[in-house]
């Protein structure tokens, strides 16, 4: 007898099935329509809220799985349905992660439920870090936060870009904004702020038209003299002042802690990429068995069968990396080799590669919009770009395994 097992437990299997059924019956039927319309799928978010799938209670139950796998399973199933719609449901968790990552227990208790609202009053959240001149290089943010002692308020000014759910004002929307308090201290002079729904001065700039994940809203967020109460500084002023004082004196920072937070969230993004890759693999396997050419099924050609064998192998390898990193994150293991980055890098690249193989297997049918495969390829590409590009993931891994600060 051994304790080691790669089997999912009953709770995980039940959750996986519940979300899979939602993806199959609610998401998939409307996925092509939202891909064309490029609009937020409010009806799907509403349905997800009605059944409790879009709620802070669901999120906290996924996080309370001691193996760390449940949230990855949910993410994979939603993206299997449609990555754009899946991200419209999961986008709020980006804002939540900003609050949980930096907030005090009181701030987490106040703001996390506010990010979801209720089925009768749906809310959203967004996490705004990236700027036109600072995507991978987030130490150079230009958005400024100044403290107004007289009113105990923070004043935010700047422009954020590529923000998922950014600037939507159809429903109450909690923005978590990362801004620079002391620019010369780079990353250590930055802080995260909650901008409550309806705050004056925050508005949506350009909404982007995208190659893929088109149901997910991506836009600029403009901050013009945005005033938020002092209590909206996540972690509190005392902690920020102490951190900046240490940085000014050249004392070491808790980079390892920040790194662990990113390493723990990356596999969940990788899990979404797995969902797309699996959708493409399943569809092209069925197609290859049915499609006839030269009097036989195309899968009877090794050229096609081996593609499918490789797709299955790469998909399973990527999933093992994703699940390992989720388990490490949930069990407080140190990511000594960039295991979180590995999982997102591998899953993102497998999704791009596998969806391209699927197009090839379908031939001309793979290239037209009547079939879902070309959409999956378009959807997959973002997974080598956002939440850290593939190059940045390789940088994290290389630094971790070498101990050298490779530039
Ligand atoms: C659809 C979408 C949704 C997004 N959602 C959000 C969101 O909700 N919140 C948010 O804050 N951001 C979001 N982003 C931003 C995303 O995280 C950034 O686009 C990403 O981090 C890359 O930044 P960049 O686009 O400025 O590229 P750059 O940083 O300019 O990089 C350009 C290229 O140079 C490479 N490169 C850069 N530095 C190095 C280096 N040191 N070594 C090797 N190569 C390097 C990169 O890998 C890339 O290939 C989103 C982006 C998109 C497209």
Q: What is the pLDDT of residue 258?
A: 53
Question: What is the pLDDT at residue 259?
Answer: 59
pLDDT of 261 above 70: no
Structure tokens at 384: 């080598």
In order of 148, 173, 221, the CA distances from 227 in angstroms are: 9, 16, 15
- Which pLDDT score, from 0 to 100, does residue 383 have? 98
CA distances from 373 to 23, 82, 276 (A): 17, 11, 10
pLDDT per residue over 18-76, tens digit each?
999 999 999 999 999 999 999 999 999 999 999 999 999 999 999 999 999 999 999 99
Place of tokens 């250590």: 188
385 lines ligand 1 (CB under 6 A): yes
Q: Nearest-5° angle of CA 175, CA 131, CA 349?
A: 95
- Is residue 227 over pLDDT 80? yes
Q: Which residue among 248, 272, 287 closes a domain? A: 248
Q: How many CB atoms lie within 10 A of CB 209?
A: 8
Q: To test ligand 1's pocket by mutation, which of 389, 396, 406 has the most ligand atoms within 8 angstroms of CB? A: 389
Checking if the pLDDT of 252 tops 80, the result is no
Q: Is 383 in the pocket of ligand 1 (CB under 6 A)?
A: no
The answer, yes or no, to whether any atom of ligand 1 lies below 6 A from the CB of 395, is: yes
Distance 407 CA to ligand 1 centre (A): 17
Among residues 121, 145, 162, the one where a domain terminates is 121
Q: Mind listing the pLDDT tens digit for each residue in 192-206?
A: 999 999 999 999 999
Which of these, 8, 69, 91, 96, lies nearest to 325 by C-alpha position?
Answer: 69
39 catalytic? Reply is: no
127 C-beta closer than 6 A to ligand 1: yes
4 belongs to a structural domain:
no
> Which secondary structure element, helix H or strand E, spans residue 128, and what is its range?
strand 124-128
Q: Are 229 and 333 contained in the same domain?
A: no
- Supply the residue whose CA is at minimum distance from atom 26 of ligand 1: 135
What pLDDT is stored for residue 2 in this prediction? Answer: 74
CA separation for the pair 320, 69 (Å, rounded): 11
Expressed in angstroms and rounded, the spacing between residue 135 Cα and the centre of ligand 1 is 4
Are residues 280 and 345 part of one domain? yes
Kindly report, residue by residue over 310-363, the tens digit of the pLDDT: 999 999 999 999 999 999 999 999 999 999 999 999 999 999 999 999 999 999
Residues 146, 285 within the same domain: no
Mean pLDDT of the chain: 95
How confident is the model at residue 38, as a pLDDT? 97
Report the share of the chain in percent with pLDDT over 90: 93
Are residue 180 and residue 92 in the same domain, yes or no?
no
Rounded-to-integer distance, Cα 251 and Cα 233, Å: 23
Strand-strand pairing, 121-122 and 117-118: antiparallel
Classify the phi-psi angles of 315: left when phi > 0, otherwise alpha if psi is within -120 to 50, otherwise beta.
alpha
Domain count, the chain: 3
């Amino acid at each position: 007898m051994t304790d080691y097992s790669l089997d999912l437990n009953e709770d995980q299997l039940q959750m996986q099935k519940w979300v899979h059924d939602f993806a199959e019956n609610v998401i998939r039927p409307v996925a092509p329509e939202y891909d064309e319309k490029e609009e937020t799928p409010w009806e799907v978010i509403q349905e997800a809220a009605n059944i409790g799938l879009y709620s802070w209670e669901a999120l906290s139950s996924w996080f309370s799985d001691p193996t760390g796998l449940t949230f990855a399973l949910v993410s994979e199933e939603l993206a299997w349905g449609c990555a754009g719609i899946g991200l419209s449901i999961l986008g709020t968790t980006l804002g939540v992660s900003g609050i949980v990552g930096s907030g005090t227990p009181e701030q987490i208790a106040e703001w996390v439920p506010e990010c979801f609202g209720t089925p009768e009053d749906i809310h959203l959240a967004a996490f705004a870090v990236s700027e036109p001149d600072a995507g991978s290089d987030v130490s150079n943010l230009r958005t400024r936060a100044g403290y107004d002692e007289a009113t105990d308020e923070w004043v935010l000014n700047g422009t954020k870009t590529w923000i998922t759910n950014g600037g939507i004002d159809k429903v109450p929307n909690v923005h978590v904004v990362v801004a620079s308090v002391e620019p010369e201290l780079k990353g250590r002079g930055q802080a995260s702020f909650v901008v409550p729904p309806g705050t004056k001065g925050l508005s949506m700039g350009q909404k982007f038209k995208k190659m893929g994940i088109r149901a997910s809203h991506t836009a600029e967020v403009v901050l013009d003299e945005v005033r938020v109460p002092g209590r909206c500084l996540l972690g509190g002023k005392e902690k920020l002042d102490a951190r900046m004082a240490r940085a000014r004196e050249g004392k070491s920072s808790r980079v390892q802690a920040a790194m662990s937070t990113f390493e723990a969230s990356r596999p969940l993004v990788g899990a979404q990429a797995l969902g797309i890759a699996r959708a493409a693999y399943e569809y092209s396997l069925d197609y290859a068995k049915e499609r006839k050419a030269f009097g036989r099924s195309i899968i009877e050609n090794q050229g096609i069968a081996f593609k499918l064998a490789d797709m299955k192998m790469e998909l399973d390898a990527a999933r093992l990396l994703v699940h390992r990193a989720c388990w490490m994150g949930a069990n407080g293991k140190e990511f000594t080799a960039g295991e979180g980055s590995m999982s997102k890098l591998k899953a993102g690249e497998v999704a791009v590669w596998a969806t391209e193989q699927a197009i090839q297997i379908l031939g001309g049918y793979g290239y037209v919009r009547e079939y879902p495969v070309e959409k999956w390829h378009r959807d997959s590409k973002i997974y080598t770009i956002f939440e850290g590009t593939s190059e940045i993931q390789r940088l994290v891994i290389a630094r971790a395994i070498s101990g050298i600060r490779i530039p």
